[in-house]
């Protein structure tokens, strides 16, 4: 080895040593940048990434709250949640979906259409997502599947909830139904529950009005998911608020009774508490089974429902508008009395017809009623008497009175679909028909024909306001006030006073009493014989066809001689018990014939049943409204005696059969010859 | 002089096996084993608390690798020098063969399947290139290195395999081969302006290279420049890795509690992205501790190499230490979004047999360099002095 070689070696060692130091320094610098990067990611930006990591792994799942039940006033369930058994298939748990479906088809029917859908859905979703095979399984099917589970890999039974209406047709019009939200619902609501697959919201009736409360508040479940979305575990759970159990004012047993009593007719019955506005009965026949909608209707069933002339899908109590007929005479009577133009004692002689201009207006009783005062006019429902007083006070006053009693506008019931009816006047006719008001129309409309239209509910409210002494009670179906998702007990408010004099209301009460309870009254045959339950009412028969001159001469056809569509609507409004009024009832029978012969007996039976179920009916109430029949009857006898004396006096002075009586001016003279 | 005495002893050429074993730097071996153990625990966590399927196999490979490492360490450094060109030639032939017959893994041709073992020629090349360059520069004087013509053969030795590896395409290995060779050129004293010149030429070649790149490689580079632009597609890996790291924070989520890795948001958590998982569960503290251990291994590599009295040993030791550093840096920089995702594993920790074997082979060579540090090898090669 040479020295030069050695020196050369030392030089190279020096170079490599120096360069290795440089290289090592560079490496250290690079490693330091790694530490710096770590510091930046794990300390400086740690919070940001912690949030991102949680967003990655935590999924917020909505928990649908159980929908609140709907109960009647006594707690009888009207709408409940039923367990809906479904068969699901988890494709990752079976080797071959087709084999499993084959095995399953021995237990429940699985047709080719189902199979194609299941295979399609299974392909579209991740393999651990269950696919629905079939819904609404019977309990037998469920148990048979459960027994065969070992042979059915991947098959699971799942319990969902579906709405069930145990009373079926009874109350179907009130309750409405639930369905999956529409596009519009989704746009109008910010409630994320609506986005849940299979979630249903109220689409009609009570289900719709109180949907928010019945729906409750959705809970949330924070679950940890992995990168492909599979749930690993639940981290946090908020159960939300279950839907509110909503009590209605309806008495299901009464409702049942009323519906049965209406029978096959196309009819509606409403019973109100005249003090609180509780709707105890709201029946509309024929009805339908809302559960059928959940099951799915065949097109024949649907056509049958839609095509039925008796309109089973319509709630006639609020959406049926009928001419109120003679029940409207209550309004004409009150308008006349309140105007001061007509006194209760003023009499009108009914000869069976009355002429105005060159038109003749007929009383329903051919041959006439003779001398009629207010009470007799109501009792006999004498058309001529009301023609005359309407002519004197004018229709504007009658219309105004009718509106005060709730006609012509919706009552504000907590149920969608209510119609407002019609109370016409000059302005209305000008606006809608662009025609002037004819004097003859005053007469026709004053007996509830012509343009006047009202719903059965409106007539029940009218009757309730008459019966409760002139207070503007309004009806409601929910027992409690619902505020958001909570129920607050309802306190009966001081209803606005309609400002009528007690004496005038008393006259009308006595007239209604006479209609039912005095011999000769239009509904005397339908009186309630137990005086503690006695009802006072007013019948109405609304003509739906024109009676020609010719027919009038040859004799007006009886209703049972006419085809159904041409028969009169039969109406009856009543309140009971007269001794301490509490309940108002309206029965409307489409094309039923006579109000007193068809609607009155139904109304009577319903009111008897209502009172039977309320043993406390004699207690409470408004002392000022308590009526003393004996005093009424005595007063009535005296008036009758006076009338007879008057009739004799008229016969003596003007000759028998002359249309004369005590006028509003106080004098006794021939009709139409008043000097005052 | 004691130096003369030692020299005399080694002039007798052979050391006994006992002497060699005595000379092995057992603390270096322990340090390497410690890092491997950290790897086993991390793989155990990656499998959700199970030694199956990764930790157990990794331990087996470690055991085999350890035997290989010790075997390599005991082989005389002059023998390695003698075989270095042969090894390089073999690796080059295999690289060509893999182009022709290799099977496709991960979208690239990398493996040769010999039935009983799968050979990855690019891994062999990582070692063989260091050995071959070390042998070439062993006898070079400072003046030799200054001559540009002298540098042409080693440049060809580098760019031939790099080109082949790029064609596979394996960006990570190409990068490592280039950088490790660069470091060796630097160590032997190549002037810095020559690197600058080469860089300038290389920079000019980038547009040309771009045209020859596969679409997925271009995509990787583009994604690297802005990974958030495509959070569900190509940038997903980097983004999820950064989320995992960042959410680990300073002290981590705890052993086996890493949400990103255990819920599979983190891709390839047992291989290329294992550092992310470790740093998610142990936080920055864990990451820095691991980095410190790596730095210690590097420092050892430097110390062991520079104590060698022959140029070949020094170059082999430093070259392999640099290769090891490149593994560490590229992998960690990659998972932290500092360099493109090029598929370089975290040394001694990532699951995988080939890299483990390559690394332990390399450490064996460094140990051999250390054991035979006092062997003097003549400028013209090993044979002269034996
Ligand atoms: Zn009459
Ligand atoms: Zn007069």
Per-residue pLDDT, B382 = 46
Give CA–CA dist B213/B210, Å, rounded.
5
User: Is pLDDT at B9 greater than 70 in this prediction?
Assistant: no
In A435-593, where do the E strands start and end? 480-483, 486-489, 536-542, 569-576, 583-589
Instruction: Respond yes or no: is residue A326 known to be catalytic.
Output: yes
Q: How far is the CA of A652 from the centre of ligand 2 (A)?
A: 19
| Among candidates B187, B311, B332 on the partner chain, residue whose Cβ is nearest the Cβ of A19 | B187
- Min Cα distance B125 → chain A (Å) is 22
Q: Which residue of A has its CA nearest to B252?
A: A42
- Min Cα distance A90 → chain B (Å) is 21
- Structure tokens, B152: 């042409």
Query: Span A50-70, mean pLDDT?
Result: 85
Mutate to test the interface with A, among B4, B188, B190, B243 (most CBs of A within 10 A): B243
Q: How far is the CA of A640 from the centre of ligand 1 (A)?
A: 17
Give per-residue pLDDT as tens, A214-238. Answer: 998 888 888 887 777 777 778 888 8
Give CA–CA dist B175/B158, Å, rounded.
11
The sign of the torsion formed by the CA atoms of A476, A481, A483, A485 equals negative
ipTM: 0.90
**Pick the residue with more confidence: A200 or A616?**
A200
Query: Span A599-620, mean pLDDT?
Result: 87
Q: Which residues contact B33 (CB under 8 A, 6 or more apart)?
A: B62, B66
Using pLDDT thresholds of 50, 70 and 90, give the confidence band for residue A239: confident
Q: How far is the CA of A662 from the centre of ligand 2 (A)?
A: 7
**Pick the residue with more confidence: B118 or A498?**
A498
User: Is pLDDT at B8 greater than 50 in this prediction?
Assistant: no
**Whether A6 contacts chain B with CB within 8 A:** no
- Min Cα distance B94 → chain A (Å) is 31
- Look up tokens 């032997």; give the residue: B188
Give per-residue pLDDT as tens, A119-147. Answer: 887 887 777 777 878 877 888 888 888 88
Measuring CA to CA, which residue among A177, A94, A81, A180 is closest to residue A133? A94
Question: Which of A89-103, A458-472, B340-354 holds the top average pLDDT?
Answer: A458-472
Give CA–CA dist B316/B69, Å, rounded.
15
Query: Span B232-257, mean pLDDT?
Result: 84
- Please name the fold of domain A61-247: Penicillin-binding protein 2a (Domain 2) (3.90.1310)
Instruction: Please list every residue in chain A whose beta carbon sits closer than 8 Å to the beta carbon of residue B336.
Output: 34, 37-38, 41
Average pLDDT across chain A, whole number: 87
Per-residue pLDDT, A414 = 93
Element (H, E) at A349: strand A348-350
Q: Specify the DSSP class assigned to residue A599.
A: I
**Whether A229 contacts chain B with CB within 8 A:** no
Query: Span A356-363, mean pLDDT?
Result: 89
Strands A348-350 and A279-285, sheet pairing? unpaired
User: Is pLDDT at B280 greater than 70 in this prediction?
Assistant: yes
Query: Span B130-155, mean pLDDT?
Result: 90
* Backbone phi and psi for residue B26, each to the nearest 5 degrees, phi listed first: -65, -25
Give per-residue pLDDT as tens, B360-374. Answer: 999 999 999 999 988
- Structure tokens, B70: 């010790």
Q: Which residue of A has its CA nearest to B183?
A: A23
What does the domain layout of chain A look like in residue ranges?
Answer: 61-247, 252-468+498-557+573-670
Using pLDDT thresholds of 50, 70 and 90, give the confidence band for residue B11: very low
Per-residue pLDDT, B205 = 81
Give CA–CA dist A258/A177, Å, rounded.
22
Using pLDDT thresholds of 50, 70 and 90, give the confidence band for residue B5: very low
What does the domain layout of chain B look like in residue ranges?
Answer: 2-371
Question: Which of A628-632, B104-108, B286-290 holds the top average pLDDT?
Answer: B286-290
Per-residue pLDDT, B10 = 47
Per-residue pLDDT, A465 = 96
Write the Ramachandran bin of A410: left for phi over 0, alpha for psi from -120 to 50, otherwise beta. Answer: beta
Per-residue pLDDT, B103 = 61
Instruction: Please list every residue in chain A whose beta carbon sits closer than 8 Å to the beta carbon of residue B333.
Output: 33-34, 37
Per-residue pLDDT, B327 = 95
Mutate to test the interface with A, among B182, B247, B253 (most CBs of A within 10 A): B247
Q: Which residue of B has its CA nearest to A47?
A: B247
B61 alpha carbon, distance to own chain's centre: 17
Cβ distance B242 to A43 less than 8 Å, yes or no, reads no
| Among candidates A23, A41, A57 on the partner chain, residue whose Cβ is nearest the Cβ of B336 | A41
Percentage of chain B with pLDDT > 90?
Answer: 50
Instruction: Please list every residue in chain B whose beta carbon sits closer than 8 Å to the beta carbon of residue A232.
Output: 263
User: Is pLDDT at A6 greater than 60 in this prediction?
Assistant: no
Average pLDDT across chain B, whole number: 85
Cβ distance A43 to B284 less than 8 Å, yes or no, reads yes
For residues A453 and A428, is the Cβ–Cβ distance under 8 A? no
Q: Which ligand is nearest to the CA of A365?
A: 1
- Structure tokens, B108: 């690239």
| Among candidates B247, B263, B306 on the partner chain, residue whose Cβ is nearest the Cβ of A49 | B247
User: Is pLDDT at A638 greater than 50 in this prediction?
Assistant: yes
User: Is pLDDT at B107 greater than 60 in this prediction?
Assistant: no
Per-residue pLDDT, B352 = 84
Using pLDDT thresholds of 50, 70 and 90, give the confidence band for residue A570: very high
- Structure tokens, B296: 């210690």
Catalytic pick among A326, A446, A539, A579: A326
Q: Which ligand is nearest to the CA of A676?
A: 2
Mutate to test the interface with A, among B176, B246, B303 (most CBs of A within 10 A): B246
Q: What is the CA radius of gyration of chain B?
A: 21
**Whether A41 contacts chain B with CB within 8 A:** yes
Per-residue pLDDT, B230 = 61
Q: Would you say the pTM of this structure is higher than 0.80?
A: no
- Please name the fold of domain A252-468+498-557+573-670: Beta-lactamase (3.40.710)
Q: Which ligand is nearest to the CA of A671?
A: 2
Using pLDDT thresholds of 50, 70 and 90, give the confidence band for residue A1: very low
Per-residue pLDDT, A157 = 82
Alpha helices by DSSP H, A475-585? 502-517, 549-554
């Amino acid at each position: 080895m040479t020295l030069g070689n050695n020196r050369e070696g030392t030089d190279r060692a020096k170079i490599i040593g120096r360069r290795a130091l440089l290289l090592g320094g560079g490496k250290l610098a690079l490693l330091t940048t790694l530490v710096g990067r770590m510091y930046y990611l794990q300390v400086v930006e740690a919070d940001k990434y912690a949030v991102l990591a949680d967003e990655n792994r935590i999924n917020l799942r909505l928990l649908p709250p159980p929908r609140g039940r709907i109960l009647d006033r006594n707690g009888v369930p009207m709408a409940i949640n039923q367990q809906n058994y479904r068969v699901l298939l988890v494709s990752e748990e079976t080797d071959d979906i087709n084999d499993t479906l084959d095995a399953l088809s021995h237990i429940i029917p699985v047709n080719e259409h189902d199979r194609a859908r299941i295979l399609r859905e299974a392909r579209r979703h991740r393999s651990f997502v269950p696919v629905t095979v079939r819904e609404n399984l019977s309990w037998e099917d469920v148990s048979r599947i459960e027994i065969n589970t070992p042979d059915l890999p991947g098959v699971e039974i799942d319990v969902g909830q579906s709405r069930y209406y145990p009373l079926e047709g009874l109350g179907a019009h009130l309750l409405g139904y639930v369905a999956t939200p529409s596009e519009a619902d989704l746009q109008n609501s910010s409630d994320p529950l609506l986005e849940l697959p299979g979630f249903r919201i109220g689409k009609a009736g009570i289900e719709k009005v109180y949907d928010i409360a019945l729906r409750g508040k959705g809970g949330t479940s924070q679950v940890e998911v992995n990168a492909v979305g599979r749930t690993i575990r639940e981290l946090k759970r908020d159960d939300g608020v279950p839907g509110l159990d909503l009590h209605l004012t309806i008495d299901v047993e009464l409702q049942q009774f009323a519906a049965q009593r209406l029978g096959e007719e196309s009819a509606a019955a409403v019973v109100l508490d005249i003090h609180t506005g509780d709707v105890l009965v709201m029946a509309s026949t024929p009805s339908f089974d809302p559960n059928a909608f959940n099951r799915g209707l065949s097109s024949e069933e649907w056509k049958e429902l839609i095509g039925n002339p008796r309109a089973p899908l319509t709630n006639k109590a609020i959406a049926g508008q009928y001419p109120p007929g003679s029940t409207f005479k209550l309004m004409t009577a009150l308008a006349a009395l309140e105007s001061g133009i007509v006194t209760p004692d003023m009499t009108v002689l009914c000869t069976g017809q009355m002429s105005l201009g060159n038109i003749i207006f007929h009383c329903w009783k051919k041959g006439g009623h003779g001398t009629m005062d207010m009470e007799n006019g109501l009792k006999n429902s004498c058309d001529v008497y009301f023609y005359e007083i309407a002519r004197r006070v004018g229709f504007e006053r009658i219309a105004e009175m009718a509106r005060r009693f709730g006609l012509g506008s919706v009552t504000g019931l907590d149920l969608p679909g209510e119609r407002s009816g019609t109370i016409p006047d000059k302005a209305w006719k000008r606006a809608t028909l662009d025609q002037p008001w004819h004097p003859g129309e005053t007469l026709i409309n004053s007996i509830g024909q012509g343009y006047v239209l009202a719903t059965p509910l409106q007539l029940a409210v009218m009757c309730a306001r008459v019966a409760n002494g002139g207070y503007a009670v309004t009806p409601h179906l929910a027992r409690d006030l619902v505020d958001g998702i909570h129920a607050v007990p309802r306190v009966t408010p001081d209803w606005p006073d309609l400002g009528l004099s007690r004496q005038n209301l008393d006259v009308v009460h006595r007239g209604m009493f006479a209609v039912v309870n005095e011999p000769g009254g239009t509904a005397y045959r339908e009186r309630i014989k137990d005086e503690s339950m006695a009802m006072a009412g007013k019948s109405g028969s609304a003509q739906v066809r024109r009676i020609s001159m010719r027919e009038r001469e040859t004799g007006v056809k009886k209703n049972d001689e006419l085809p159904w569509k041409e028969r009169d609507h039969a109406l009856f409004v009543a309140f009971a018990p007269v001794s301490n009024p509490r309940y108002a009832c309206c029965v409307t029978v489409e094309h039923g014939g006579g109000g007193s012969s068809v609607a009155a007996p139904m109304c009577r039976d319903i009111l008897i049943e209502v009172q039977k179920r309320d043993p406390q009916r004699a207690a409470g109430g408004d002392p000022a409204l308590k009526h003393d029949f004996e005093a009424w009857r005595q007063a009535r006898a005296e008036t009758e005696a006076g009338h007879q004396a008057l009739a004799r006096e008229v016969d003596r002075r003007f000759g028998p059969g002359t249309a004369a009586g005590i006028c509003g001016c106080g004098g006794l003279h021939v009709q139409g010859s008043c000097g005052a | 002089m004691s130096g003369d005495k030692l020299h005399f002893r080694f002039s007798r050429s052979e050391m006994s096996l006992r002497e060699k074993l005595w000379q092995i730097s057992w603390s270096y071996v322990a340090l390497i084993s410690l890092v491997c153990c950290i790897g086993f625990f991390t793989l155990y966590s990656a499998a959700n608390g199970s030694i199956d399927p990764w930790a157990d196999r990794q331990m087996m490979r470690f055991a085999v690798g350890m035997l290989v490492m010790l075997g390599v360490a005991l082989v005389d450094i002059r023998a390695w020098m003698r075989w270095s060109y042969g090894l390089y030639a073999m690796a080059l032939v295999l690289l060509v063969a893999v182009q022709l017959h290799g099977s496709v893994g991960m979208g690239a041709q990398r493996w040769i399947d010999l039935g009983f073992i799968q050979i990855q020629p690019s891994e062999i090349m990582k070692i063989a290139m260091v050995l071959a360059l070390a042998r070439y520069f062993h006898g070079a004087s400072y003046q030799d290195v200054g001559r540009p013509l002298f540098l042409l053969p080693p440049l060809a030795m580098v760019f031939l395999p790099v080109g082949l590896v790029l064609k596979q395409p394996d960006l990570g290995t190409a990068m490592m081969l280039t950088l490790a060779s660069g470091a060796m050129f630097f160590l032997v004293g190549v002037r810095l302006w020559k690197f600058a010149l080469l860089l300038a030429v290389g920079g000019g070649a980038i547009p040309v290279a771009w045209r020859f790149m596969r679409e997925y490689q271009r995509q990787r580079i583009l994604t690297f420049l802005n990974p958030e632009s495509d959070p569900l597609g190509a940038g997903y890996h980097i983004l999820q890795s950064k989320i995992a790291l960042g959410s680990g924070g300073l002290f981590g989520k705890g052993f086996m509690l890493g949400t990103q890795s255990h819920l599979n948001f983190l891709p390839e958590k047992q291989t290329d992205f294992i550092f992310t998982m470790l740093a998610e569960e142990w936080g920055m503290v864990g990451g820095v501790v691991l980095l410190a251990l790596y730095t210690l291994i590097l420092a050892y590599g430097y110390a062991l190499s520079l104590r060698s009295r022959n140029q070949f040993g020094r170059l082999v030791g430093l070259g392999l230490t640099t290769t090891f550093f490149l593994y560490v840096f590229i992998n960690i920089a990659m998972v932290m979004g500092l360099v493109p995702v090029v598929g370089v594993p975290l040394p001694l920790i990532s699951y995988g047999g080939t890299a483990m074997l390559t690394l332990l082979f390399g450490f064996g060579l460094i140990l051999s360099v250390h054991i035979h540090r006092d062997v003097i090898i003549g400028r013209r090669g090993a044979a002269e002095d034996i």
